[in-house]
């Protein structure tokens, strides 16, 4: 059994849903369970109409709702053809009418609570999952729509509800597994769940990947496929380095490091339930389904290259702090981090030597005020227009001399700060923003020219 999750762009219109249906058909022998996001941008629109209703703008909310209704009707009729759509139409209509009624109620009260907001946004996944289900049926597959709210049990922390894993897994076993055993294809919405009392919840933006991982863990799936609109993870941004290559397999920890640097393909934390059960998670492209994508798994296989990828982050500020008075190092560091916290600035990388510390933060208007505050404790210097370059790979751990090799390949590019995370699988340093492109190209040439074919495409 496998779990196939289709994200918003993979169900964005009739053509996309048609492609998704063909992909599911190709996987029938593997017994798929399908999890879908709302159609592209629908969650944003639902949130906007909920807010409009909460502000008492009833007509504005209903206008948005009308366009959403039309988009879903048109998509369904295009996919299903007139005769099947006629039968299915009333189902969509009932949901869209219920949404309108809800919006009228919210605007009458003039207030939207997180609980009501969750109910409003739930319509995105409820509608998309019904359309995908009907499409699979129309294409001759024995699909079975499952209301995610009957399966995904959560607490009542609305808008970021916490799944209750054990009971949810049990429900997957007793309510979804039997459908698969009957040869059917269960189809459910991601992102939504319900409390024990049956109150609709959502598990956080982008939560459909999380739902898919929970489904995979609950069903003991052999793999989870996350269908999106890119070929997978790359050795670096192809816009920076034309020779960038696809990573075929990466460890969970490596993927997590990269995600931190803005590789938005997949937020590994959301697939942790699957990784913990040793279930591999594949990132695949629904517009290019023959591409094998990237497999994220608990442990990476042996690789003869040291690094898996180079990530970069521009618009970085470097802040150097040197203790003016003799403070205890511990107290000094604590007050520095407290100060960053107070100014709401998240630190990316840190390098410490004795009583002087270098830190990087995203560029922000708050930095002069931060520096003024830090100035009460220490000597402070800050500079903008920097870039972070981060090399990621499990083999960093076991490769002595790698730092020297990295800096050797950078030639005369000036490196400002070096930091090696406690995980020992990233090597991060700061360069001038103007040197970033040159640095990435040199590193890619040095470390990604001769690639292990088992790991890179
Ligand atoms: N539709 C939800 C969102 O846009 C969940 C998801 O797509 O993963 O946040
Ligand atoms: Mg998504």
**Lowest mean pLDDT segment, chosen from 56-70, 153-167, 310-324:** 310-324
Query: For residue 124, which of 205, 23, 216 has the smallest C-alpha distance?
Result: 205
Residue 41 near ligand 1, beta carbon < 6 Å:
no
Residues 218 and 321 in one domain: no
CATH classification at residue 359: 3.30.2130.10
Q: What is the pTM of this model?
A: 0.91
CA distance 171 to 192: 15
pLDDT value of position 158: 98
Q: Does the Cβ of 191 fall within 6 Å of ligand 1?
A: yes
- Determine the average pLDDT of the residues in 264-283: 91
Q: How far apart are CA 386 and CA 368, in angstroms?
A: 16
The CA–CA distances, whole Å, from 124 to 42, 77, 120, 206, 216 equal 6, 17, 8, 13, 22
Task: Tell me what pLDDT residue 328 has.
Answer: 72
For 12-31, write each residue's pLDDT tens digit. 999 999 999 999 999 999 99
Structural domain that includes position 357: 309-447
User: Does 288 map to a domain?
Assistant: no
**Ion ligand 2 neighbours, Cβ < 5 Å:** 7, 206
Whole-number pLDDT of residue 177: 98
Question: Tell me: the pLDDT tens digits for 348-361?
Answer: 888 887 778 999 99
At residue 400, does pLDDT exceed 90? Answer: no
Q: Is the pLDDT of residue 326 over 90?
A: no
Give residue 23's pLDDT. Answer: 98
Residue 169 forms part of a structural domain:
yes
Indicate whether 376 pLDDT > 90. no
Looking at the CA of 42, name the nearest ligand: 1
- In-domain check, residue 23: yes
**What is the per-residue pLDDT for 87?**
87
Which residue, 229, 262, 294, sits at the end of a domain?
229
Would the CB of 273 count as within 6 Å of ligand 1? no
**For residue 151, which of 136, 173, 134, 133 has the smallest C-alpha distance?**
173
CA of 309 to the centre of ligand 1 (A): 27
- Choosing from 9, 16, 191 the residue with most ligand 1 atoms within 8 A of its CB, the one to mutate for a pocket test is 191
Question: Is 238 contained in some domain?
Answer: no
Residues 38 and 163 placed together within one structural domain of the fold: yes
Q: Which atom of ligand 1 is nearest to the CA of 125?
A: 1
Whether residues 189 and 322 share a domain: the answer is: no
Residue 363 has pLDDT above 70, yes or no: yes
Ligand 1 close to Cβ of residue 268 (< 6 A):
no
Place of tokens 């496929």: 225
Q: Which of 181, 201, 229 is the last residue of a domain?
A: 229
Whole-number Å distance between alpha carbons of 248 and 294: 5
**Is residue 193 lining ligand 1, measured as CB closer than 6 Å?**
no
Confirm whether 365 is domain-assigned.
Answer: yes
Residues 14 and 161 grouped into a single domain: yes
d(CA 270, CA 296): 12
> Domain boundary at 206, 229, 252, which?
229
**Cβ(208) – ligand 1 distance below 6 Å:** yes
Q: How confident is the model at residue 115 (pLDDT cuts 50, 70, 90)?
A: very high
Neighbouring C-beta atoms of residue 331, cutoff 10 Å: 11
205 touches ligand 1 (CB under 6 Å): yes
Q: Give the tokens for residue 123.
A: 């319509």
Does residue 190 sit in the same domain as residue 321? no
pLDDT exceeds cutoff 90 at 381: yes
pLDDT band at 325 (very low <50, low <70, confident <90, very high): low
How many angstroms separate the alpha carbon of residue 267 from the centre of ligand 2? 9
Ligand 2 centroid to residue 37 C-alpha, Å = 7
Ligand 1, residues 206, 264, 265, 270: which to mutate, most atoms within 8 A of Cβ? 206
The per-residue pLDDT for 262 is: 65
For residue 59, pLDDT beyond 90: yes
345 in a structural domain: yes
Mean pLDDT of 256-284: 88
Instruction: Identify whether residues 33 and 182 lie together within a single domain.
Output: yes
Question: Are both 224 and 314 inside the same structural domain?
Answer: no
pLDDT of 314 = 93
| Residue 251, in any domain of the structure | no
Q: Confirm or reject: Cβ of 124 under 6 Å from ligand 1.
A: yes
Q: Give the residue, by CA position, lying nearest to ligand 1 atom 6.
A: 206
Clarify whether residues 183 and 64 are in a common domain. yes
Q: Whose CA is nearest to atom 8 of ligand 1?
A: 206
Residue 255 lies in a domain: no
* pLDDT of 422 strictly over 70: no
Claim to verify: residue 201 and residue 315 sit in the same structural domain: no
* Number of compact structural domains in the chain: 2
């Amino acid at each position: 059994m496998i779990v196939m999750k289709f994200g918003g762009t993979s169900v964005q219109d009739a053509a996309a849903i048609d492609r998704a249906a063909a992909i599911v058909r190709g996987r029938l022998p593997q017994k798929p369970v399908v999890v879908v996001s709302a159609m592209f941008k629908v969650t944003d629109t639902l949130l906007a109409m909920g807010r409009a209703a909460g502000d008492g703008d009833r007509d504005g909310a209903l206008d948005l709702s009308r366009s959403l209704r039309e988009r879903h009707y048109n998509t369904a009729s295009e996919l299903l053809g007139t005769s099947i759509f006629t039968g299915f139409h009333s189902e969509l209509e009932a949901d869209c009418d219920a949404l309108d009624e809800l919006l009228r109620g919210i605007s009458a009260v003039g207030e939207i609570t997180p609980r009501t907001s969750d109910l409003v946004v739930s319509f995105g996944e409820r509608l998309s999952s019904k359309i995908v289900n009907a499409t699979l049926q129309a294409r001759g597959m024995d699909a079975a729509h499952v209301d995610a709210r009957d399966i995904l049990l959560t607490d009542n922390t609305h808008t970021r509800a916490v799944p209750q894993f054990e009971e949810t897994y049990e429900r997957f076993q007793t309510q979804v597994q039997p459908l698969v055993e009957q040869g059917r294809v269960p189809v459910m919405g991601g992102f939504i769940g319900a409390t024990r009392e049956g109150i609709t919840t959502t598990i956080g933006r982008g939560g459909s990947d999380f739902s898919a991982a929970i489904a995979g863990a609950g069903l003991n799936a052999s793999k989870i496929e996350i269908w999106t609109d890119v070929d997978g993870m790359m050795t670096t941004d192809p816009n920076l380095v034309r020779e960038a290559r696809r990573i075929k397999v990466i460890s969970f920890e490596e993927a997590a490091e990269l995600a931190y640097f803005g590789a938005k393909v997949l937020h590994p934390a959301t697939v942790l339930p699957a990784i913990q059960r040793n279930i591999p998670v594949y990132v695949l492209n629904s517009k290019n389904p023959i591409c094998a994508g990237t497999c994220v798994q608990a442990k990476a296989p042996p690789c003869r290259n040291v690094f898996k990828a180079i990530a970069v982050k521009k618009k970085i500020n470097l802040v150097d702090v040197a203790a003016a008075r003799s403070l205890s190092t511990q107290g000094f560091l604590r007050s520095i981090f407290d100060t960053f916290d107070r100014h709401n600035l998240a630190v990316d990388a840190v390098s410490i030597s004795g009583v002087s510390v270098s830190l990087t933060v995203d560029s922000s208007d708050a930095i002069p005020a931060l520096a003024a505050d830090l100035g009460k404790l220490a000597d402070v210097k800050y500079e903008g227009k920097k870039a972070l370059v981060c090399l990621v790979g499990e083999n960093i751990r076991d490769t002595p001399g790698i730092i020297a090799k990295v800096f050797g390949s950078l030639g005369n590019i000036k490196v400002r700060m070096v930091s090696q995370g406690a995980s020992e699988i990233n090597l991060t340093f700061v360069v001038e923003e103007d040197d970033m492109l040159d640095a990435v190209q040199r590193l890619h040439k040095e470390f990604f020219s001769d690639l292990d074919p088992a790991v890179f495409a």
